[in-house]
Chain A
Amino acid sequence: MKLAGLLLAAAATLLAGADDTFLIRGIDVYPVTSKPMQGVSVLVQDGKIAEISAKITPPKGMKIVEGKGLRLYPGMIDSATNLGLQEVQSVRETVDTGELGEFMPQLRALVAVNPESEHFGAVRVNGITSAIALPGGGGGRGGGTQTIGGQAALIHTSGWTWEDMEISRSAAMQLTFPSMGGRGGRGGFTPDTVAELVGGDAGAAGGANARRQYDDAIAKINDFFDEARRYQKEKAAHAPGFETDLKKEAMIPVLDGKLPLAVSASTADAIHDAIQFADKQHVKIVIMGPREVGKAGAELKAHNIPVILGRALALPEHEDDSYDQAMALPNEFYKAGVKFAMGTFTNEFVRNLPYQAATAVAFGLPADEALKSVTINPAEIWGQADKVGSIEKGKWADLVITNGDMLEIQTKIEHVYVKGKEVDLTNKQTRLYEKYLSRQ
């Protein structure tokens, strides 16, 4: 029975039709990077977008997809997941995020991605064709106690192996930035004034203590970076007695400003400190999961630092925050002129990425910006805009055909393509549905 189930699951993920060359005809195209075009044709060749034109005459025998009355969007990108590395959140055996050790830049999320994870089947059908897979806990368990969790990968949500799924094996280095009274900006959200007031003397003393611990934690990170830089110099100078150190080796692209640090920071203060840190170390950063804009908006804009926003459907941080704080946050960042993309931070919610974006629209974000935040913006932030994120010639044919707005719950997803290959829209859940629907 178990074996049969496994075989069934394996068979079902066989990508339907290996043919990655075809023509989509007469469809309304939403390229994201340019204005929508009505009733045009898109030629896909060897998995890539070869041509977009009002009329393309297909070679004889080419597969044609009729797109009349339908829409074509680029596949969506979730910028914070543990896809492939976490199956059942509460069962440690199924969780491969959150390795032991504090500074672990040499770890690569990509190599632990299980292409057969049931999550991929569940998210593909809603049009999510790629995702950042974080090595540290994006949410749920497996957070570990790391400061540097390892290298995050940008992956396709469909493929035979992790190599096949790879878009970028090293899209970012995950850094959990310390915060006052907590780590990763998860705790420590209390503004200084309130923290001091609430606690009185003891609070002030506690505040000083927390400040010292915080400064120590940042100093420790700086030390690690400084050591890595010394290593880099020794290596370049072929210093006598030089020995390879995989941790420091993994830091070189970060130090060279080629690989961004994905830094978790929730408060404006934490963001400010992260920017200071980045300036001091001359490294590139992306802020992960901020919960407020505040004075950080102008600073982020001035430094041209992008952010990855967490779920718009989240509770406010404090009792006295406005009820719609999280829903309105994307628009706040937009108004501040900060570039942002969206992430769900928990595998279970990846399939709701479009609905998170729509919620941001309900609370003020222009619809175009919402669409960008799940397509071209993440592609640019993760340095892969030449491959994914829009419908443009030369990019992977990561495509979604719908009967309406891709961000709307009521919209039907008709076809999904990853690298030009049509994705099977059945999954474990549709199979259970069909099976039990037929129970008499």
Chain B
Amino acid sequence: MRKLFVLALGVLAPLGAETIVIRNATIMTVTHGTVKGSVVVKDGKIADVGEKVMEPAGATIIDAAGQYVIPGIIDCHSHIAADGGINEGSLSVSSMANIKDVINPEDISIYRALAGGVTTANILHGSANSIGGQTIVLKMRWGKDASLMIFEGAKPGIKFALGENVKRSGNPQGGGRGATPAVQARYPGTRMGVEDVIREAFTEAKAYKAEWDAYKAAVARGEHPMPPRKDLKLEPLKEVLEGDRYVHSHCYRADEILMLIRVADDYGFKIRTFQHVLEGYKVAKEIAAHNAGGSTFSDWWDYKMEAVDAIPFNATLMTRKNVVVSLNSDDAELMRHLNTEAGKAMKYGGASETEALAMVTLNPAKQLGIDNRVGSIDVGKDADLVIYDKYPLSDFAKVQKVMIDGSVYFDRDKEVSGLAAKAAEKQKLVDKLKQQQQQNGGRGGRGGRIG
């Protein structure tokens, strides 16, 4: 029933990318300042941007007088569109689990994220395990099936997690929300144990990699050895060691951030991003030296013990210490107004307008290794664009249109004007069901069957 309503709500998926000119707009490019002029979109890409552009004949014109255009917002930490649970919490190392396998393209959160200007999101496994599952980058192509939502060519990732969430399952007193009874306690129960779990896993992964390297070397010598047995837990960790998979690590406290940097140093791999990283400002120097990114909340704090030293200045302070910083949501609601979260980086610590906007566009693109495709308004990049009615870094602004690959996926005017029709369609469905139930004599409804 619910699903039926969602279908009724859904906007028809855009058919094919057309040639579009967005005129008279204030265009915040992120990479080369703010331009008053036009953006030309052709074949799903940005074909031109500037004060004066050549408008291709027959192009659809969007008059954005008084409005603002920014690159599509990129959320580096989300769990939307993941069907069912996101935590394979039975093991401390669950690297064999993959979020890619559970993408639900009909999750209404995708449409809502779009309506908040998000065009790309990094969908992560949960934070119950020291080493969690594999992650996937999606474009919010609402109406397309799961395989078509996947960001083509984006490097895969894996979720790590440190601190309270990981310890919770191993806490003999129970660890509050979601705690398992002591009898089911799962190692680790302390931050010391978290380090050990990661070291144990990479000790194994290194040995596994050595086996494969020896095998490949033998093949290269023209020998015909037996290949090693493929290990689905260690395979992603081997990819991490080889630099072919990004590590996105959930973390809060400075001590655990530093711990993971040193573990990675010892085993010769890199942490791509520290996620949440609420105390990142305390070890920004070390994070920058490791060349890792920081993806944080603007102002969430004090909801748990490891969040008591969170400061809203974190994003700006890490930026000042040369860390590439993004602002993420980790939440289907917060995801819908990351523009205001960027605005807060200007308020708290005085990030410049461009620095702040980059925190939700270019910087997360860099962190996900997709900045050659998205994150700024530059010729040749994907036409992932958001039009706001007002200055986008203000809480008075709202999204008017959202484009992905040059196709409009959200249009507020159509959304508003279509509400009555949707309500009527819903009523029709409700009436039809009522009628069916009456015909069945009140029997045979979905709830009528037992077993």
Residues of A bordering B, CB below 8 Å: 87-92, 118-119, 122, 140, 193-194, 197-204, 206, 313-316, 318-320, 322-324, 327, 347-348, 351-352, 354-355, 358-359, 361-363, 407-410, 412, 429-430, 432-433, 436-437, 439
Contacts and interface: CB of A to CB of B under 8 A. Distances in A.
B320 interface: yes
Closest A-B pairs by Cβ, 3 of them: A200-B445, A202-B447, A200-B447
B8 A348 contact: no
Contacts of B236: none
A88 B394 CA distance: 29
Contacts of A319: 2, 5-6, 9, 108
Given A88-B304, A313-B336, A439-B284, 17 more contacts: A88-B307, A90-B303, A90-B305, A91-B176, A197-B1, A197-B433, A198-B1, A200-B448, A201-B447, A202-B447, A313-B337, A318-B5, A409-B394, A429-B301, A429-B312, A432-B309, A433-B349
B305 A91 contact: yes
17 contacts: A90-B303, A91-B176, A118-B302, A140-B303, A197-B1, A198-B447, A202-B447, A320-B9, A320-B108, A322-B419, A324-B115, A351-B299, A362-B398, A410-B343, A430-B311, A432-B281, A432-B313
A432 B311 contact: yes
Contacts of A320: 2, 5-6, 8-9, 108, 422, 426
Nearest to A357: B395
B302 A89 contact: yes
Contacts of A88: 302-305, 307-308
A209 B352 CA distance: 58
B304 A410 contact: no
B191 interface: no
Interface of B: 1-2, 5-6, 8-9, 108, 111-112, 115, 176-177, 281-282, 284-285, 299-305, 307-309, 311-313, 317, 320, 332-334, 336-337, 340, 343-344, 346-347, 349, 389-390, 393-398, 415, 419, 422, 426, 430, 433-434, 437, 442-448
B302 A119 contact: yes
A316 B299 CA distance: 22
Contact of B112 (A315, A348, A351, A437): A315
Contacts of A203: 445, 447
A90 B1 contact: no
Contacts of B419: 322
Contacts of A359: 337, 395
A362 B395 contact: yes
B2 A201 contact: no
A259 B415 CA distance: 43
B89 to A, nearest CB: 18
Contacts of B396: 358, 361-362, 407-408
A338 to B, nearest CB: 22
Contacts, number: 160
B346 A410 contact: yes
Contacts of B281: 432-433, 436
Contacts of B349: 433
Contacts of A327: 398
Interface of B is mostly: helix
B301 A91 contact: no
A315 B446 contact: no
A76 B196 CA distance: 49
B430 A193 contact: yes
A437 B305 contact: no
Contacts of A89: 302-304
Contacts of A352: 299
A327 B395 CA distance: 12
Nearest to A405: B396
A367 to B, nearest CB: 9
A315 B448 CA distance: 32
A166 B443 CA distance: 60
Contacts of A193: 430, 434
Nearest to B176: A90
Contact of A437 (B309, B320, B347, B393): B320
Nearest to B388: A362
Given A433-B311, A437-B320, A409 B447 contact: no
B106 to A, nearest CB: 9
Contacts of A351: 299
B136 to A, nearest CB: 23
A409 B395 contact: yes
Contacts of A118: 302, 308
B443 A315 contact: no
B391 to A, nearest CB: 8
Contacts of B336: 313, 323
A318 B398 CA distance: 21
Contacts of A429: 301, 311-313
A322 B443 CA distance: 33
B356 to A, nearest CB: 10
